[in-house]
A and B are shown apart, each in its own frame.
Chain A
Amino acid sequence: MKIFKINFKPGMRYIFTVLLFLQIIFISITAVAQVPADSTVTDSVLLKQVQEQLQASTSEQPTPAQPRSSLSFNPDIGVIGDFQSSYISRGKKNFDMYLNETEVSLQAVVDPYIRADFFLTFGRDPLTGKYGVAVEEGYLTTLALPAKLQLKVGKFREAVGRINPTHPHALPFIDLPNAYVNLFGEEGLNDEGISLSWLTPVKSFYQELVFQTTSGFSESPAFARSEGNHLVYLAHLKNSFTLSDNATLELGLTGISGPNDSARTTNVAAGDLTYKWKPVQLNTYHSITWQSEFYYSDNHNIPGNAINSFGLYSYLEYQVAKTVFLTGRYDYGQKPYNKSVKEQAYSLTAGWDATEFSKIEVEAKTTDDTINKRFYQAWLRWIFIIGAHGAHQY
């Protein structure tokens, strides 16, 4: 193998080295300055802009860079544990304890246009007793739509009043209200589809209008997935009024229409009213929330026949001290398939929110219905959170 070799005289070699060195310096200077070599008219404009910006940035006194820890593009990750033990006064098995749910949240902004939120839930199937994974929610939310519009696409808890959009661990009681479970089941109305919300131009109070169309994958007592093209439609109007620095009132109206398990239509009308009082100055010590929702269902299951049923709940939560909460709740519900079956229940929950990341709650409940005799239930729940934990809705 022949290697090409130049034989320089000692003087020539010196000159060549110097020239090479100068050339390297020249290349690096031009590369750093990023000044285009040819100076056309546009380039001179660009050059002027660059010079102006350079001047501007020197007059802006660039602030020193801070070393910031944990910079990464990983999403915010959180894990929520929900351990429960329960008691029921009827049946054979009265006591039980279980890890009710393990929820993993993954949340981040995707790009300047959208953000993404995923909530994966690991729980035991009550029938098989085996653990399974489910996508509790997984959706994108737009950040930059015009006209105060916001689009949500994916699987999400639907905008029915106040309880349905809230993850159960954030509620001030352990069980869900009877009227709510009668219509939407233990998992709530949590379906796959599209949601469009509009912040109306009203300035004196907050008003938001939401339309949602979903495919009916969320099997609930009220709605079922259609074998044809029948989708579930939902409209929700949210109004929030600031009564004073310390108090707000929210009034919501919801209408839902969708296919039921008889391949006909169920219509649901719902209303929610929430009063919140929290003194601005000492807002971590005392607060009151009074929240009520009613549901009216119009269930067409047999041709020419409709069952109209009604249900409601109302709760009052009082924050006794910084970490102590008491909640009393009243439930009333007619079964959507047979309105003559009625339930009535009272419950009381005491909660100790040790920090923002753990809380222990105890609930006792008594239920009367028109078929069974009165029975009692009690629960204990311990919620614990690691990692990032996003803010809850107001």
Chain B
Amino acid sequence: MKKRSALCIFLLLFTFAFANAKTIKVVTTTTDLRSITELIGGNKVSVNAIATGYQNPHFVDPKPSYIINLSNADMFVTVGLDLEIGWSPQLLSSSRNSKIQKGSEGYVDASIGVGLLQVPTSANRGEGDIHIYGNPHYWLDPLNGKVIARNIANGLERVDPSNKSFYENNLQAFFNNIDVKLKQWEAEMAPFRGTKVIAYHNEWVYFETRFGLKIVDFMEPKPGIPPTPSQLVKVIGEVKANHIKVIITSPYFTTSSADVVAKQTGVKVLTIATSTGAFPSIKNYFDLFDYDIAQLTAVLK
């Protein structure tokens, strides 16, 4: 009996060690990148995201505990375009892991090849938190999800070339799923094409462009600057003039200022997801759009 259990333990440890040795350890900055990496990498990868889905990805505290995962990672995936400038460079250089430094095989900038919107013609912080490479919230267009997936697959194939065909097959399946779902999402949003809305922060431009919404103004007078009384007055005027039905905001902003506008005008304040995991039902990148579109269409009807 003893012998048998010892053998079992040995086998268990062996399979564990074997499985462990084969798994590509990936750290992503956001949950959307984690979801896409899991969809492409399947059982060949184990993925950790640093930010949660309900956290503002601009402002993540570079806690030392994140360095532990990074120090053992084979691959690092970043949204890029300076979205994580305040925290990820410091974590990367503290990781002592040469495999995932910028320029190494295990460093994946998911934004490579994305058709960028709102690329500024001049860099002036007087305009608030602007991003010199363009608006970095590009994952909110499902077609950009394909570009992200391509970049992640390229990274996995660099780090683990032996499973290239596996990753390519998953990538193709991801592309097909996006194509199928995008038709459905576009059909659901079609009746609301051109509908004017207000947003809290300038993070919806890719979503807006894909699904034909029209964001008239933001609660923030300038990106990153909290709403001011004069901005609220301006927004109240715009809501009334354009018969706007909804203010869209994200889980990491307080709704107190939007609630003031709602009280004055009857507009609905809708907190929707900017990332996978923002709400418990959003388990992956596809759920993100399912959720947001269901919420939006229900309010805009």
In the complex, the answer to whether B96 meets A148 with C-beta atoms within 8 Å is: yes
A161 CB to closest chain B CB (Å) equals 15
Known: A109-B102, A240-B63, A390-B90. A61 touches B224 (CB 8 A): no
Binary A-proximity of B70-94 (CB < 8 A = 1, otherwise 0)? 0100000000000001110110011
Q: Which residue of A lies closest to B104 (CB)?
A: A112
Decide if A342 is an interface residue (CB 8 Å cutoff): no
A112–B105 Cα gap in the complex (Å)? 12
* Min CB–CB distance B190 → chain A (angstroms): 28
In the complex formed, the residue of B with least CB distance to A197 is: B96
Q: Is the CB of A281 within 8 A of B154?
A: no
In the bound assembly, the distance between CA atoms of A44 and B43 in angstroms comes to 37
Assess whether A206 is in contact with B252, with CB atoms less than 8 Å apart.
Answer: no
Q: A63 and B55: CB pair below 8 A?
A: no
Of the stretches A11-19, A34-42, A138-146, the one at the interface is A138-146
Minimum CB distance partner of A357 in chain B: B125
Does A338 touch B at the CB level, under 8 Å?
A: no
Whose C-beta in chain B lies nearest to the C-beta of A147? B96
The yes or no answer to B98 lying at the interface (CB within 8 A) is yes
B64 touches A148 (CB 8 A): no
Give the interface centre of B96, B125, B150, B226 by most chain A CB atoms within 10 Å: B96
Residues in A with CB closer than 8 Å to B113 are 63-64, 66
Whether B112 pairs with A280 at a CB distance below 8 angstroms is no
In the complex, chain B residues whose CB is within 8 Å of the CB of A205? 65
Q: Are A143 and B98 in contact (CB under 8 A)?
A: yes
The residues of B that contact A394 with a CB separation of less than 8 Å are: 61-64
A284 to B54, CA, bound (A): 13
Tell me the minimal C-beta distance from B106 to chain A in angstroms. Answer: 12
Q: Is the CB of B103 within 8 A of A145?
A: no
Q: Which of A51-83 contact B (CB under 8 A)?
A: 59-61, 63-64, 66-70
A288 at interface (Cβ–Cβ under 8 A)?
no
Q: Is the CB of A144 within 8 A of B98?
A: yes
- What residues of chain B lie closer than 8 Å to A149, measured between beta carbons? 96
A240 to B251, CA, bound (A): 28
Greatest chain A CB density within 10 A among B60, B101, B123 is at B101
Q: Which residues on A sit within 8 Å (CB–CB) of B112?
A: 63, 66
| In the complex with contacts A148-B71, A280-B55, A394-B64, A70-B150 CB distance below 8 A | no
Contact status B90-A391, CB under 8 Å: yes
Tell me whether chain B's interface is mostly helix, strand or loop, or mixed.
loop
Query: A68 CA to B82 CA in the complex, in Å?
Result: 12
Q: Indicate the member of A276, A281, A322 with the most B CB atoms within 10 Å.
A: A281
Beyond A148-B96, A284-B59, A390-B89, whether A70 also contacts B65 by CB under 8 A is no
Secondary structure of the A side of the interface?
loop
Q: Choose one: A60, A68, A238, A284; the contact of B133 (CB below 8 Å).
A: A68
Q: Which residue of B lies closest to A240 (CB)?
A: B64
Q: Which residues of A contact B59 (CB under 8 A)?
A: 283-284
Number of interface residues of A (CB under 8 A): 49
Q: Does B114 contact A (CB under 8 A)?
A: yes
- Tell yes or no: B56 within 8 A of A by CB: yes
CB atoms of A70 and B54 under 8 A apart:
no
- Are B86 and A391 neighbours in the complex by a CB distance under 8 Å? yes
A115 to B98, CA, bound (A): 12
Q: Does A203 contact B (CB under 8 A)?
A: yes
**Bound complex: CA A205 to CA B67 (Å):** 10
Asked if B242 is at the interface (CB within 8 A of a chain A CB), the reply is no
**B62/A391 in contact, CB under 8 A:** yes
A contact residues around B168 at 8 Å (CB): 59
The answer for the CA separation of A144 and B123 in the assembled complex, in Å, is: 33
Q: Chain A 126-170 against B: per-residue CB contact (8 Å), 1 yes, 0 no?
A: 000000000000000101110011100000000000000000000
Q: Are B65 and A206 in contact (CB under 8 A)?
A: yes
In the complex the two chains form, what is the Cα distance from A238 to B71 in whole Å? 16
In the complex the two chains form, is B96's CB within 8 Å of A112's CB? no
Chain A residues with Cβ below 8 Å from B150 are 60-61, 63
B254 proximal to A (CB < 8 A): yes
Contact sample, A vs B, 16 pairs, CB 8 Å cutoff: A112-B98, A112-B101, A143-B98, A148-B71, A150-B94, A199-B67, A199-B68, A240-B65, A250-B64, A278-B61, A281-B55, A281-B251, A282-B254, A355-B225, A391-B85, A391-B89
Please give me the 9 A-B residue pairs with the lowest Cβ-Cβ distance, nearest first. Answer: A63-B113, A144-B98, A206-B64, A240-B64, A391-B90, A242-B65, A281-B54, A148-B96, A394-B62
